[in-house]
Structure formats: structure tokens, C-alpha cells
């Protein structure tokens, strides 16, 4: 588990309270889990991926990450339709650990309403939010 | 089995002390969280007996059931070698301890690992779990597993599965949105796949099926795979795999069944052991426990529960299945049986089963029975009885022979084509003397009638 100083929290992303990040690319949202989430989970050994074309709802689970000690849901921060799935995670689930913001992205969603992003946190607010949390087990 | 442990009830003092320790005022308060309407409010109506009298009563009951049954139907009369009850009742194995902590339960974990390995090998599959309750729960879990993998809304199930297994399956699926489509039997006693819908997650076929007929599993696999569904092969008689081509080699994706034939006594229909195996691809959808082999920090071979992050005790409401406890001790017995019989031994015992069944069938034909189907079978088969057999069935019972199970006792077989049909079974436990004595008695009764 990293300390707050070690955490890589990036300015160009939006964050959800459930520790997913969103990167806006046109009308699409690329989604993954952030450095805090991956370091809390430990070694990710399996990523349960959704199928292309599935509808997702903001705040609802679309898949799960399995580490050696737990299985955690991954929620979509936005509503829309899945237009891309990072199939590389099937064979290399550890990309979530080694490269949470680049190679470890999970899905891309065609957003129904990009205004939903306004409800998410920017990096400063997110860091402040993380400091209010209990130390992660 | 030896019974070294006696039941000692708690004295009022014991109860008071225990309640004090956990800080609860009364027994009533302890059970507060259990709704009143599911609790019994009266005494259980049991007449007190001395241990001596109780033992005698059980011995009498055991004696009463000491008849020769030519019936399998899910619980087969197999010889249990003497070393099995001896080894299995050793106190090291009779622990109620569940193997969560690998550092203190290596023996239990290794035994389960061996059970998994031999189960997978017997069934020709890549992965087997650490046992289910029995064949029925195993089948229901296999169906749910196929739905998790394929995510399609229906399950096609052969009606020739064991009626009790079908009942368990219907019960498991009733509260879900998934539909069970039942497939009828053809005239030759095999399953008709023609009515299988397109949107099925799996086709579930039992082989040998309830009528003893060996199904063409290759054809079943083709039928299932042509609809992009999984083939679930179910079985009630594990011994048959000593002789038949294993389900894995015929294209099965998931295999579920009952392992009671491997050294586990009838116990008045009591606990069995469920076997569940699958292809490696579906390992994350398999219910229950898996024991894996690994190395510890010193590089020594060691065993641990694996993939348990999906299990009920960790993930609660989102667990893959809520089955958690398994028939651990019976799995151990089955592992002992398989490992001591060995591949060749199992084949020999299975061959004996088939030979005895053929002998029984030939004998029955001589006294007027007609086979329901002219197809290959393992140790069980269905026959139409000659006129007036029902009365003789009773007379035979009085003379210690249970001569077949009437098929229309089951709702699935209340059909004109099964009128006067009985299910028969012979195993390696039916010696030639027993079989000949049965035929002789039958002939005498026939002459008297």
C-alpha cells in the first residue's frame, strides 16, 4: 500500500468515489481503476470483462477485479454503451497494477450524457477525499 | 465404523457459564435473530432410550434391510473393502475442522487435492472441485455454472436424468429467471435433442441415464455445441466410468455426478459425495472449493485453498455459489477407494458389474421379462414384467429379494410405455450364488402361482 505522497493521481482525469478514473476522448469515456485502487488490491490475478455493446449505468458494476485476497466490483462512473474492451487484460491482468492509467485501462464507453462527468472529482478533490478514508485493509 | 465419541448433554451450569462468556442473558436471547415462525415451540416427541436399547434398535433395523436388492436407481450396492472403514475412521481424518488455515490442515488439503486429481482423471476433465453434497446438488450447481458462463436464459435437461436430481434442479432454478426446458425420451431410451431451443446455456444429459441406457455423448456434444451451448454430462453411477469412455473424451464441458459407489455405504440413503469437474476455461465459474498445490517459502510442496476470493465466506452475497461446506469425509473415502482400486482395479470391478447385469438380464428374460430397450447398458436396465408379477414381487420380498423398482413410482415415468416396467441392477456385490438363488426362488413361486 502506497502512502499519499507516492500515489500517482493525474490532473487530466476524473475520479469516482469508488476509485475508478475516467479519461474523456471526444464523446467517449475511457475507464480504469486508479493507482490508489490497484495498490490497495494488491496483485490483480483476473479481470472479469464485460462484452462489447453492453449498456452501463453510472454507479453500477460492469465487471470485477480479482486479487489474491479479494474480488472487487468495478463500477462505471458514466452511463452509456461499451464500445471498447481491453482484451489484453485477459492474458495480462497485472497491467492493472503496472500501468493503471495506460495499458491497464478496462473499457471505453460511448457516453449518453457527458455532463455526468461534472459529478466526478478532479485530482485535488479526489486526493482530499482519499485522506478522509480509513486506512485500507 | 467405530463410535468412540459419546453424546454428553450440557448441564444447566454449563449453559449458564457459556451464556455468561458471550454476554447473553438467556438461550431465548441467543436465538433472537431467528424468526419465531421458523422455530419449533414444542418439545421434540422422542421417547428417551438407554444407549443399550438404542444400539439394539439400530441393529434390528440394519438386520431388517439385510435383503438382496436388484435395484440401483442412484444408490448402488458395491462392496466396501475392509481397509476403507478402518482407515476412514481414524481420528486424524474424522475431524470436523474445515481447511481454511493451510498451515494446520495439510493432511486434509492433500486428501482433497488427491480427490480432485483422481476425479478429473476419471472423468477426463481438466479441473475438479473439492466435492459437492451429492449428485443432485452437483447437477443443479453445474446448470447454474453453465448459465454463468454462457449467460443465455434457458437450460435444456434430459428427462432421463435421475428424478431426484431433476427435482433438485427444478428447485434450484425456480426462484431464478432461467427456464428449464425438459427433453423427452426417444423410443430407444435415449434423449431426443430435437426440441432443444436455440437460446440455451447448456444441454444436460445423464449417462448411463435413469433407465440404464448409455447415451451417445458425442452426439449430445454436437447438439449442444451447434447451439453454442455447453454440454453438461451428469451421472449417478460413478463406477460406470471404469468401463465407459469418459465424458471429457466425448466433448463434455462440465461433468457432475454422485460418487457414492466408491466405498461409501448406503446409510439408509444418507450422505453421498458430489463430483463436479470442468474444462480449465471455466475455473472461475466453478462453485465451492478448489485445493491447489504450491510451494511454501522453503520450497516444500504444500496445499492451499485457491480461488477462494469468489467463495461465500469472503464475497458473501456476490459469491459464485452459496454452497460452502462439502462432503469432505466422503470425498476422502472416495479418494481412498479410487487410489487403492487403481485404474486397472476399477476397470475390473466395472467389468464385473456389467457381466453380472448381463447374467441377471438373461435370467429374467428366461422367466418371461422383456427388455424395454435393445441398447447397450452398464449395470442397470429396464424390463417389462410378465403378467401377475406385482404379486410375485411381494412374495419375493418376503423371501429376501427386492426384485426391481417399479418405474411408475416416479412422476416422470407415469406414461403407458413404462406400464409394468421395472428397473433392475446387478453389481459385483451380487455373487453368482445369489443370482441363481434368486432365479430358483422366482421359478418356485411361478410354479406355485
Note down pLDDT in tens along chain A; length 137 residues.
777 778 899 999 999 999 999 999 988 999 999 999 999 999 999 999 999 999 999 999 999 999 877 888 999 999 999 999 999 999 999 999 999 999 999 999 999 998 999 999 999 999 999 988 865 44
Asked if A67 lies within 8 A of B309 by C-beta distance, the reply is: yes
What is the predicted pLDDT for the residue at A137? 41
Interface confidence (ipTM) of the complex:
0.71
Q: How confident is the model at residue B305 (pLDDT cuts 50, 70, 90)?
A: confident
Report how far Cα B102 is from the mean position of its chain's Cα atoms. 28
Cα separation, B306 vs B312, whole angstroms: 13
Cα separation, B437 vs B417, whole angstroms: 31
What is the predicted pLDDT for the residue at A26? 87
Which of B281, B284, B286, B309 to probe the A interface (max A CBs under 10 A)? B309
Cα separation, A127 vs A68, whole angstroms: 26
The more confident residue out of A94 and B42 is: A94
Asked if B318 lies within 8 A of A66 by C-beta distance, the reply is: no
Grid coordinates given for B335: 479418494
- Min Cα distance B177 → chain A (Å) is 19
Any CB–CB contact under 8 A between A40 and chain B?
Answer: no
Chain B contacts in chain A segment 61-100 (CB below 8 A):
66-71, 73
Give B-chain residues touching A46 at CB under 8 angstroms.
Answer: 284
Asked if A46 lies within 8 A of B284 by C-beta distance, the reply is: yes
Grid coordinates given for B366: 428366461
HSE on the CB side for A116, CA within 13 Å?
A: 21
Strands B200-206 and B154-158: parallel
Q: Measured between alpha carbons, how far is residue A64 from residues B23, B286, B290 in Å?
A: 40, 16, 20
Asked if B318 lies within 8 A of A73 by C-beta distance, the reply is: yes
Chain A contacts in chain B segment 397-436 (CB below 8 A):
none
Asked if A69 lies within 8 A of B318 by C-beta distance, the reply is: no
Any CB–CB contact under 8 A between B309 and chain A?
Answer: yes
Cα separation, B211 vs B208, whole angstroms: 8
Any CB–CB contact under 8 A between B314 and chain A?
Answer: yes
Which of B104-124 are b and which e, b meaning 16 or more Cβ less than 10 Å from the residue's Cβ? ebbebbbbbbbbbbbbbbbbb
> Both ends of chain B: CA-CA distance in Å?
43
Chain A contacts in chain B segment 212-251 (CB below 8 A):
none
Cα separation, A29 vs A109, whole angstroms: 5
H or E stretch including B108? Answer: helix B106-123
Please state the φ and ψ torsions of residue B408, each to the nearest 5 degrees.
-75, 10
Cα separation, B341 vs B349, whole angstroms: 9
- Which is it for the CA torsion A78, A82, A86, A89, positive or negative? positive
- Give the helix ranges, DSSP H, for B321-431: 328-366, 389-398
Give A-chain residues touching B315 at CB under 8 angstroms.
Answer: 70-71
H or E stretch including B424? Answer: strand B421-425
Work out the average pLDDT over B266-274: 89
- Min Cα distance A51 → chain B (Å) is 11
Any CB–CB contact under 8 A between A43 and chain B?
Answer: no
Per-residue pLDDT tens digits for B372-412: 999 999 999 999 999 999 999 999 999 999 999 999 999 99
Sheet holding B421-425, edge to edge: B370-371, B380-384, B421-425, B405-406
Grid coordinates given for B68: 438382496
Compute the CA torsion angle B12, B17, B18, B21 (nearest 10 deg). Answer: 160
pLDDT at B5 over 60: no
3-class DSSP state of A82: strand
Please state the φ and ψ torsions of residue A73, each to the nearest 5 degrees.
-70, 150
Cα separation, A80 vs A88, whole angstroms: 22
Residue B46 pairs with which residues in a beta bridge?
none
The more confident residue out of A68 and B288 is: B288
Residue A84 pairs with which residues in a beta bridge?
A108
Those residues whose C-beta lies under 8 Å from the C-beta of residue B104, and which sit 6 or more positions away, are none
Give B-chain residues touching A49 at CB under 8 angstroms.
Answer: none
Cα separation, A31 vs A37, whole angstroms: 13
What is the predicted pLDDT for the residue at B314? 64
Any CB–CB contact under 8 A between B448 and chain A?
Answer: no
What is the predicted pLDDT for the residue at B308? 72
**pTM metric for this prediction:** 0.84
Give A-chain residues touching B149 at CB under 8 angstroms.
Answer: none
Work out the average pLDDT over B135-160: 96
Cα separation, B283 vs B126, whole angstroms: 9
Per-residue pLDDT tens digits for B313-337: 666 667 777 776 678 899 999 999 9
Give A-chain residues touching B284 at CB under 8 angstroms.
Answer: 46, 48, 66
Work out the average pLDDT over B286-310: 88
Asked if B309 lies within 8 A of A70 by C-beta distance, the reply is: yes
Partner residue facing B310 (CB), from A68, A71, A73? A71
pLDDT at B435 over 50: yes
What is the predicted pLDDT for the residue at B2? 45
- Min Cα distance A71 → chain B (Å) is 6
Per-residue pLDDT tens digits for B334-378: 999 999 999 999 999 999 999 999 999 999 999 999 999 999 999
Those residues whose C-beta lies under 8 Å from the C-beta of residue B34, and which sit 6 or more positions away, are none
What is the predicted pLDDT for the residue at B408? 94
Those residues whose C-beta lies under 8 Å from the C-beta of residue B244, and which sit 6 or more positions away, are B207, B208, B214, B378
- Min Cα distance B279 → chain A (Å) is 17
Cα separation, B271 vs B181, whole angstroms: 29
Please state the φ and ψ torsions of residue A5, each to the nearest 5 degrees.
-65, -35
Give B-chain residues touching A73 at CB under 8 angstroms.
Answer: 318
3-class DSSP state of B42: coil
Give A-chain residues touching B314 at CB under 8 angstroms.
Answer: 70-71
Those residues whose C-beta lies under 8 Å from the C-beta of residue A13, and which sit 6 or more positions away, are A21, A22, A23, A34, A101, A123
Give B-chain residues touching A71 at CB under 8 angstroms.
Answer: 309-310, 314-315, 318
Contact B107, B115 (CB under 8 A): no
Which of A71, A74, A89 to probe the B interface (max B CBs under 10 A)? A71
Asked if A73 lies within 8 A of B315 by C-beta distance, the reply is: no
Cα separation, B85 vs B80, whole angstroms: 8
Contact A63, B284 (CB under 8 A): no
Contact B200, B180 (CB under 8 A): no
Please state the φ and ψ torsions of residue B327, each to the nearest 5 degrees.
-85, 65
Contact A84, A52 (CB under 8 A): yes
Nearest CA in chain B to A69: B309
Asked if A68 lies within 8 A of B309 by C-beta distance, the reply is: yes
- Min Cα distance A48 → chain B (Å) is 9
Asked if B310 lies within 8 A of A68 by C-beta distance, the reply is: no
Contacts of range B281-285, beta carbons closer than 8 Å, 24 or more positions apart = B282/B127, B282/B145, B282/B149, B282/B253, B282/B254, B283/B127, B283/B307, B284/A46, B284/A48, B284/A66, B284/B310, B284/B320, B285/B145, B285/B148, B285/B149, B285/B320
Nearest CA in chain A to B309: A70
Give me the numbers of helices (H) and strands (E) for chain A, helices first please. Answer: 4, 9
Amino acid at each position: 500500500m502506497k502512502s499519499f505522497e507516492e500515489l500517482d493521481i493525474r490532473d487530466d482525469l476524473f475520479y469516482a468515489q469508488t476509485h475508478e478514473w475516467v479519461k474523456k476522448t471526444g464523446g467517449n469515456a475511457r475507464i480504469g481503476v486508479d493507482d490508489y485502487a490497484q495498490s490497495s488490491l494488491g496483485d490483480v490475478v483476473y479481470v472479469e470483462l464485460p462484452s462489447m455493446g453492453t449498456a452501463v449505468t453510472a454507479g453500477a458494476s460492469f465487471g470485477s477485479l480479482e486479487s489474491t485476497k479479494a474480488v472487487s466490483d468495478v463500477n462505471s462512473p458514466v452511463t452509456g454503451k461499451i464500445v471498447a474492451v481491453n482484451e489484453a487484460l485477459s492474458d495480462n491482468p497485472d497491467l492493472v497494477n503496472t500501468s493503471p492509467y495506460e495499458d491497464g485501462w478496462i473499457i471505453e464507453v460511448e457516453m449518453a450524457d457527458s455532463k455526468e462527468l461534472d459529478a466526478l472529482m478532479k485530482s485535488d478533490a479526489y486526493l482530499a477525499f482519499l485522506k478522509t478514508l480509513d486506512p485500507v485493509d | 465404523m467405530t463410535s468412540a465419541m459419546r453424546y454428553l448433554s450440557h448441564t444447566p451450569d454449563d449453559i449458564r457459564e457459556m451464556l455468561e462468556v458471550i454476554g447473553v442473558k438467556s438461550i431465548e436471547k441467543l436465538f433472537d435473530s431467528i424468526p419465531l415462525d421458523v422455530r419449533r415451540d414444542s418439545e421434540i416427541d422422542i421417547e428417551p432410550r438407554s444407549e443399550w436399547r438404542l444400539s439394539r434398535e439400530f441393529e434390528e433395523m440394519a438386520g431388517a434391510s439385510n435383503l438382496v436388492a436388484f435395484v440401483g436407481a442412484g444408490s448402488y450396492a458395491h462392496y466396501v473393502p475392509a481397509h476403507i472403514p478402518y482407515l476412514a475412521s481414524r481420528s486424524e481424518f474424522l475431524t470436523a475442522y474445515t481447511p481454511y488455515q493451510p498451515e494446520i490442515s495439510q493432511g486434509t488439503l492433500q486428501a482433497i487435492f488427491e480427490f480432485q486429481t483422481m476425479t478429473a482423471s476419471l472423468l477426463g476433465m481438466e479441473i475438479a472441485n473439492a466435492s459437492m453434497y451429492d449428485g443432485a446438488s452437483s447437477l443443479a450447481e453445474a446448470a447454474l455454472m453453465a448459465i454463468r458462463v454462457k449467460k443465455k436464459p434457458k437450460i435444456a435437461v434430459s428427462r432421463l436424468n435421475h428424478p431426484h436430481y431433476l427435482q433438485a434442479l427444478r428447485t434450484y432454478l425456480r426462484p431464478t429467471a432461467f427456464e428449464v426446458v425438459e427433453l423427452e425420451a426417444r423410443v430407444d431410451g435415449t434423449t431426443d435433442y430435437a426440441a432443444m431451443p436455440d437460446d440455451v446455456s447448456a444441454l444436460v444429459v445423464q449417462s448411463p441415464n435413469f433407465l440404464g441406457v448409455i447415451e451417445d455423448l458425442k452426439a449430445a456434444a454436437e447438439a449442444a455445441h451447434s447451439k453454442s451451448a455447453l454440454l453438461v454430462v451428469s451421472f449417478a453411477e460413478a463406477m460406470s466410468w471404469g468401463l465407459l469412455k469418459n465424458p471429457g473424451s466425448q466433448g463434455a464441458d462440465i461433468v457432475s455426478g454422485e460418487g457414492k459407489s466408491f466405498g461409501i455405504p448406503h446409510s439408509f440413503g444418507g450422505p453421498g459425495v458430489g463430483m463436479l469437474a470442468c474444462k480449465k476455461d471455466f475455473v472461475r465459474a466453478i462453485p465451492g472449493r478448489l485445493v491447489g498445490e504450491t510451494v511454501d517459502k522453503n520450497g516444500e510442496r504444500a496445499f492451499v485453498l485457491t480461488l477462494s476470493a469468489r467463495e461465500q465466506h469472503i464475497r458473501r452475497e456476490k459469491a459464485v455459489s452459496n454452497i460452502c461446506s462439502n462432503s469432505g469425509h466422503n470425498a476422502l473415502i472416495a479418494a481412498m477407494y479410487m487410489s487403492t482400486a487403481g485404474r486397472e482395479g476399477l476397470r475390473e470391478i466395472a467389468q464385473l458389474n456389467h457381466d453380472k447385469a448381463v447374467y441377471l438380464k438373461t435370467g429374467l428374460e428366461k422367466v418371461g421379462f422383456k427388455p424395454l430397450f435393445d441398447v447397450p447398458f452398464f449395470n442397470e436396465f429396464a424390463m417389462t414384467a410378465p403378467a401377475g408379477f406385482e404379486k410375485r414381487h411381494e412374495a419375493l420380498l418376503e423371501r429376501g429379494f427386492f426384485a426391481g423398482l417399479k418405474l411408475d413410482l416416479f412422476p416422470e415415468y407415469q406414461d403407458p410405455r413404462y406400464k409394468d416396467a421395472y428397473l433392475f441392477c446387478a453389481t459385483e456385490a451380487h455373487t453368482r450364488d445369489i443370482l441363481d438363488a434368486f432365479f430358483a426362488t422366482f421359478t418356485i413361486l411361478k410354479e406355485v402361482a
